Amino acid sequence: MKVLVVGSGGRDHAIAWSFARSDRVDQVYVAHGNAGIGLTATCVNARTIEEIAAFAAAEKIDLTFVGPEKPLSAGIVDLFERRGLAIVGPNLAASRLESSKCDTKLLLRELGVPVPEFEVFSDPDRARDYVRSVGYPVVVKADGLAAGKGSLVCDEVKDAATAIQEIMEARVFGDAGRRVDIEKRLYGRELSFFCFTDGHSIVPMVAAQDYKRELDQDQGKNTGGMGSYSPHPWLTDQLVEIIMRRVAQPVINGLRERHGIVYRGILYLGLMLVDEADGMVPYVLEINIRLGDPEAQVILPRLKTDLVDICEAILSGRLEDFHLDWEPDYRLCLIAVSGRTKSKKGWYKGYPARYKIKVPIVGLDDVDPECLVFHSGTDWDPDGALITTGGRVFGIVARGATLQAAREQAYTEMAKVSFEGMRTRGDIGRD
């Protein structure tokens, strides 16, 4: 069969790699991909959802899988379904769970799902009055899509006021800042929890520990992700049961029963687990509508079950009795990002701020072939040399019987690679 993956980042490279492993797949296409993805699959220059649908129809693609949130939020699933094309992902209505943080919090409160205390604002002055009145630290979140960087954690009132100014007035995240969700900052254990769902049944995946802050010891600004590993260190079967019962199933059932929305695809719950008098409470910080990046890079290599079979079960509503098999070994993903470099007019601060592109990358061919290299922001220059095109450039995924073994290999192999300004966190997997 022919499979099409939509996306161009490290997560999407991992998805394409996973499909390419399937005995049922003859050809994997990716729209639009990147240099590294082109080593795994055939990249096609289709960028709008209309161009992607036209390619899928012309090429008689049997199955399409959407990696990033933007095409989902643009209605790619609805478009494909109108044209009779098989596609895995939530439709436009369901995609509001990620494209509007504010509407999602209101929905979760309606459904009785645990959420932090919060309020929604479209007026920056009222938002500032609110953070001055509550008397506790808050998180200020841009309402719309912000590439994983739209949540600003604030320790003091002045930090929250600055966050409101940046999001709502300076519009550092564009139109995503028209509204903000301001919520009480919780303290506990943060968890990214992933499920497959056909809109009725839900099957949890193994979890991954990810690292969002740009600097060691979780300092600095939020990023799209600096690294990850799996298995998760403290997620137990009992916690999985609590999350499924109190969050995942109420969300899926509530969407279907109260709003007529059948959610099919990946459900990604960003949780804060807080130990309270009545037991552990899984508070929802955010919901995303796709696999995480770089969590996918360590979860999918552990998946022994054919991803094609899972997708077919989702589309046919047969997920209820589906069993997933996972490899027990650890996977650790270490992300290389574009760091501080000098320009003609001064300095680029580096990802997640402004960064230099078209920087030559050397040494990737020297990485141990037992490791996986998933590309996030790479291209070929006119002379055929590999260059950077993004803030997150690539990730090296190592495998080990222990977390320490996987960590040591990832850092050993990363030391073989270089480009101007290259930076990694030094504490991925040091738990």
Mean pLDDT of 212-231: 93
- The pLDDT tens digits of the residues spanning 91-141 come to 999 999 999 999 999 999 999 999 999 999 999 999 999 999 998 999 999
Tell me: pLDDT of 243 over 80.
yes
Question: Is domain 119-184 in CATH 3.40.50.1220, yes or no?
Answer: no
Where exactly does CATH 3.30.1490.20 map onto the chain?
119-184
Counting residues of the chain whose pLDDT is more than 90, the rounded percentage is 93
pLDDT confidence of 150, banded at 50, 70, 90? confident
Using the predicted structure, report yes or no on whether residue 148 has a pLDDT greater than 80. Answer: no
**CATH 3.40.50.20: which residues of the chain?**
2-92
Res 431: pLDDT: 73
415-423: average pLDDT: 98
pLDDT band at 57 (very low <50, low <70, confident <90, very high): very high
Q: Which residue ranges does the chain devote to CATH 3.30.470.20? A: 187-316
* pLDDT above 80 (res 152): yes
CB atoms within 10 A of CB 259: 15
Confidence class for position 343, pLDDT limits 50, 70, 90: confident
3-state DSSP of 256-317: HHHHCCCCCEEEEEEEEEEEECCEEEEEEEEEECCCCCCCHHHHHHHECCCHHHHHHHHHHC
Interval 358-384 mean pLDDT: 97
Structurally, at CATH architecture level, domain 187-316 sits in 2-Layer Sandwich (3.30)
Q: Which CATH architecture has domain 2-92?
A: 3-Layer(aba) Sandwich (3.40)
Q: Does position 149 have pLDDT exceeding 80, yes or no?
A: no
Q: What is the pTM of this model?
A: 0.94
Would you say residue 221 has pLDDT above 90? no
In this structure, CATH architecture of domain 330-423: Alpha-Beta Complex (3.90)
Closest Cα partner for 14 from 293, 211, 265? 293
Q: How confident is the model over 176-185, as pLDDT tens digits?
A: 999 999 999 9
CATH 3.90.600.10 residue spans of the chain: 330-423
- Cα separation, 50 vs 253, whole angstroms: 31
